[in-house]
Each structure stands twice: as structure tokens, then as C-alpha cells.
């Protein structure tokens, strides 16, 4: 994937789905969600009016058409993440794990209790703190070095070995401004309508880091191959309109020194074995938000049986009654075959083979994910309107698993780590049920211990 740095020309406006008006300023200074940047690149590709690109077949509510009129369906992105560009090396930062503080070590851990728990299924253990309560706030952003120390993974280079922690104010400021409402039909001022808004301004030496690629099988360029994102940037960069009010960012490629992506690497082996129940303990920490919608029982649009699932904080690949992991280990050929079946509207049977189950979790306050759709005749949308609102599990949330064997722990880690079984050169797993291609559901695995157990 291409590593891209976005530099805002002015302030940025990223509001969520909450009302904006009166005393509410719309929360426009929030850090942008992955879908916002994905939409910005998608719109930029359309504006570029690239010729000879492959058009994808469109489908709506399970009715697939032979008409191919959807472009840039191969676009996948990840991010944005704060990036410090001071000096020759660029340092990427990621949301701090929810179980840790500024010490860099876990201070929250599942508590082993033999009594029946009042926790909702499938959680079995409550998560408790090993430190007295405090009102001091921890730094919310960690670099790769801090994550490597926390996870106990290998330091990839000298810069990654440095443990750095930042607060929001270290790289951004919130600015307040007033505006007037505009009548969309006349384009003039709407009488009596005023609003206030918060805007995000990045400090000098900081940019938004994004990973993006759009391989197109129907396109080939002598310099950029079939990657439409490289063609869009054209080696020199371009302008991207990001977020609300059409704010402009310059986008430039940032070369990878060793081919690895600048994301923390998760553990794949060496997980702790509990001395009481002899199970291997694996935890999964989100680097980006994830969306798990509720599912109603019935027959899917591909003809397979669909079981009910509550969604929300609980991943849809976890059994809501038992906590069993419902993922199956497959190779790349089988993965491609299943994607082709999905694209053609057909279904396939899954046979979970990872002997692991969810036993505890730490989930932060949900993030509203929404947007506004413009009228689009080809998409069957005659009128514009608000998109459905989803509640996403925030980055930093943690899910704790018990695995029956070392092999099961290894298979679970390869299924949940963003890099899978690769050396970190490709994003293999996006475990969000919705919008994975937009950068949701990236995570890394580490090991954990019960509260009170001796730490390594």
C-alpha cells in the first residue's frame, strides 16, 4: 500500500452525526474517522476523470445487475493517524490501549472468579484495576515503539525502539468560529440561521498519515502500473478535499524505507499459558474503530442460513451465547474463491476451526458513524439524505480470549492481526463487519495475565 501524508492548507472540519445548532457546535474538531478519508480519496479519483479504468458491477439489496457502472471499487485505505514529520524520520502515532496508562504496562486485567458472574454473555471475567483510582489523564497517543514495548514484540528499527506518548494538544488545536446558514435551493443566506462550529488545526510539523491503494485490473500505466492512487498523486502529489466544508489537504507519497507498513506488529507466538486452567491467553487490541451491526435470523441474500446476532460491542464472528470464535483458517486461494462467490451473489459454508473463546473485554464509548448521500440515479437514489448511523467500537478497545492449545492461539493471532502471517508488508485482516475496506477493524494481538498473577 502507498504511504501518504496529508497536510491541511487551513483548518479542518470533521463533525459526527450529532445535531449542530443552538449551543451545540457539532463536534467538528474530532479526529476524522477512517470512512471520511476513504470517501475523500474516492471523490478525488472521480474528479481526476481517469480513462480506461475497470467498471464494477453494481448490486442493490441483493439484486445484482449485469450493468457495470461503478468505478474505483478496488480502493482500500487505512487511517488517518497523526504523523510527526519533524526530522528525517516520520513517527506515526496510534490510540493508546484501554488497559494501560503512561507506564506503558497493563494496569487493567481480567479477574479470576469462580462464582457466577452478572456480566452479559459471553463475558466470564470482570476487568479490574491493579492501581488505586486517580483523576490524572493518560496520554492518548502512542508511537510504534510504545506499542512494541506494550505488546512485547520485536523492535523493527532505531526509531521504533523509542517509546513516545503524545496528547491531543501536542499536535492539534481546536478553533471556534461562527457562520451563517445557506438556503440550498437559492444559494443565498437563510434568514435568521446562525451556527457556531469547532475546527481542527494541526500544529506545524504534523500531518495525517494514510495508507491507500487502488489496483485496477483493467488499467496499466508505464510508470505507475495498475495502482490508480499512484497515478492520482502522479509522483508529485495532489489536492484532496477532506471532511465537511470541502477543506483542502495536499497529498504526497511518503516512501517506505523497508517495505513494511508503519503500523505496530502484533504477537503471533509466545502467548502466556495460565497455570490454573492451562489455556493460552490472547488479547486483541483495536488500532482503528470497528463496526459490528445487529443481524436478524433468516436467509441471507446469498441463500445461506443467517443466525441472529446482537452486534454492537460484540464482534459478529463471536458466538453471542458461548463466546466461541467463528472464524475459519483459509489460504489465499480459498479467500479469493469466497470473494468471487460474494461478488456473484452466491454463498458458501464456513467451518470454524479455531478453538478459542471470548472471556472478557474493555470497550470504550461508541463512536457514531454516519454521512450524507447525494442524489445518484445509477445507484437508485433519486434524492439525497442522511446515511444510516452506525455505532463503532473505538480504537484502543480490547477483547480477551482463552485458547485451548498453543496452535489455536497461533491460528487466532494470524486471523486477528492486521498483518496475518505476513512480515508486515500488507494488510491481511480487517475484522470489522462493515467498512473494512475503509480502514475499520485493524488490530494487533498480545498476551495477558489474570489480575494478581505475577507479571513477566
How far apart, in whole angstroms, are the C-alpha atoms of residue 68 and residue 54? 9
Whether residues 24 and 153 share a domain: the answer is yes
Whole-prediction pTM value? 0.89
Provide the percentage of residues in the chain whose pLDDT is more than 90. 37
Whether residues 218 and 288 share a domain: the answer is no
Sheet hosting strand 356-362, strand order edge to edge: 356-362, 398-403, 280-286, 443-447
- 125, part of any domain: no
Q: Give the per-residue pLDDT at 136.
A: 80
Place of cell 492486521: 418
Work out the average pLDDT over 59-66: 47
Whether residues 320 and 226 share a domain: the answer is no
Whether residues 205 and 83 share a domain: the answer is yes
Work out the average pLDDT over 3-28: 73
Residue 172 DSSP symbol: E
Q: Give the per-residue pLDDT at 388.
A: 83
How far apart, in whole angstroms, are the C-alpha atoms of residue 211 and residue 241? 17
Whether residues 29 and 68 share a domain: the answer is yes
Whether residues 179 and 84 share a domain: the answer is yes
Whether residues 220 and 181 share a domain: the answer is yes
Whether residues 302 and 186 share a domain: the answer is no
Strands 372-373 and 385-386: antiparallel
The rounded Cα 203 to chain-centroid distance in angstroms is: 24
- What's the residue count for the chain? 456
152: containing domain: 2-100+139-253
Whether residues 417 and 379 share a domain: the answer is yes
The more confident residue out of 128 and 115 is 128
Confidence band, pLDDT 50/70/90 cuts, at residue 403: very high
Domain boundary among 186, 218, 253: 253
- 272, part of any domain: no
CA dihedral 135, 138, 139, 141 (to 10 degrees): -130
- 122, part of any domain: no
Count structural domains, the chain: 2
- 105, part of any domain: no
Work out the average pLDDT over 310-315: 94
Whether residues 162 and 294 share a domain: the answer is no
pLDDT in tens, 334-381: 888 888 887 777 777 788 889 999 999 999 999 988 877 777 665 566
Amino acid at each position: 500500500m502507498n504511504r501518504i501524508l496529508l497536510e491541511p492548507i487551513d483548518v479542518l472540519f470533521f463533525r459526527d452525526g450529532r445535531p449542530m445548532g443552538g449551543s451545540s457546535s457539532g463536534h467538528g474538531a474530532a479526529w476524522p474517522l477512517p470512512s471520511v478519508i476513504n470517501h475523500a480519496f474516492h471523490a478525488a479519483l472521480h474528479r481526476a476523470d481517469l480513462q480506461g479504468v475497470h467498471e464494477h458491477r453494481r448490486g442493490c439489496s441483493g439484486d445484482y445487475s449485469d450493468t457495470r457502472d461503478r468505478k474505483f471499487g478496488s480502493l482500500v485505505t487505512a487511517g488517518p493517524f497523526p504523523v510527526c514529520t519533524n526530522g528525517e524520520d516520520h513517527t506515526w502515532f496510534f490510540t493508546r490501549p484501554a488497559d494501560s496508562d503512561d507506564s506503558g504496562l497493563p494496569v487493567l486485567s481480567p479477574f479470576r472468579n469462580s462464582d457466577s458472574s452478572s456480566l452479559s454473555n459471553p463475558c466470564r471475567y470482570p476487568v479490574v484495576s491493579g492501581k488505586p483510582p486517580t483523576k490524572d489523564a493518560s496520554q492518548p497517543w502512542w508511537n510504534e515503539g510504545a506499542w512494541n514495548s506494550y505488546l512485547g514484540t520485536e523492535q523493527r528499527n532505531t526509531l521504533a525502539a523509542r517509546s513516545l506518548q503524545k496528547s491531543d494538544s501536542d499536535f492539534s488545536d481546536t478553533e471556534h468560529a461562527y457562520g451563517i446558514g445557506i438556503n440550498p435551493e437559492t444559494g443565498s443566506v437563510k434568514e435568521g440561521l446562525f451556527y457556531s462550529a469547532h475546527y481542527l488545526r494541526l500544529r506545524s510539523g504534523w500531518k495525517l498519515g494514510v495508507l491507500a491503494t487502488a489496483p485496477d485490473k483493467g488499467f496499466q500505466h508505464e510508470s505507475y502500473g495498475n495502482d490508480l492512487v499512484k497515478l492520482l498523486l502522479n509522483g508529485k502529489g495532489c489536492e484532496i478535499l477532506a471532511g465537511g466544508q470541502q477543506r483542502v489537504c495536499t497529498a504526497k507519497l511518503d516512501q517506505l524505507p523497508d517495505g513494511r507498513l508503519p503500523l505496530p506488529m502484533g504477537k503471533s507466538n509466545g502467548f502466556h499459558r495460565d497455570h490454573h486452567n492451562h489455556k493460552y491467553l490472547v488479547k486483541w487490541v483495536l488500532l482503528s474503530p470497528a463496526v459490528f451491526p445487529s443481524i436478524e435470523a433468516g436467509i441471507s441474500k446469498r441463500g445461506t442460513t443467517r443466525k441472529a446476532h446482537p452486534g454492537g460491542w460484540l464482534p459478529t464472528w463471536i458466538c453471542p451465547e458461548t463466546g466461541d470464535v467463528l472464524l475459519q483458517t483459509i489460504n489465499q486461494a480459498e479467500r479469493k474463491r469466497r470473494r468471487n462467490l460474494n461478488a456473484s451473489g452466491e454463498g458458501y459454508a464456513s467451518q470454524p476451526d479455531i478453538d478459542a473463546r471470548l472471556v472478557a473485554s474493555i470497550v470504550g464509548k461508541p463512536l457514531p458513524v454516519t454521512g450524507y448521500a447525494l442524489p445518484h440515479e445509477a445507484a437508485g437514489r433519486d434524492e439525497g439524505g442522511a446515511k444510516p448511523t452506525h455505532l463503532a467500537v473505538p480504537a484502543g478497545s480490547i477483547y480477551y480470549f482463552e485458547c485451548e492449545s498453543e496452535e489455536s492461539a497461533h491460528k487466532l493471532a494470524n486471523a486477528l492481526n492486521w498483518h496475518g502471517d505476513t512480515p508486515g508488508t500488507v494488510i491481511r485482516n480487517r475484522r470489522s463487519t462493515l467498512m473494512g475496506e475503509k480502514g475499520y477493524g485493524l488490530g494487533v494481538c498480545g498476551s495477558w495475565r489474570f489480575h494478581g498473577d505475577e507479571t513477566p
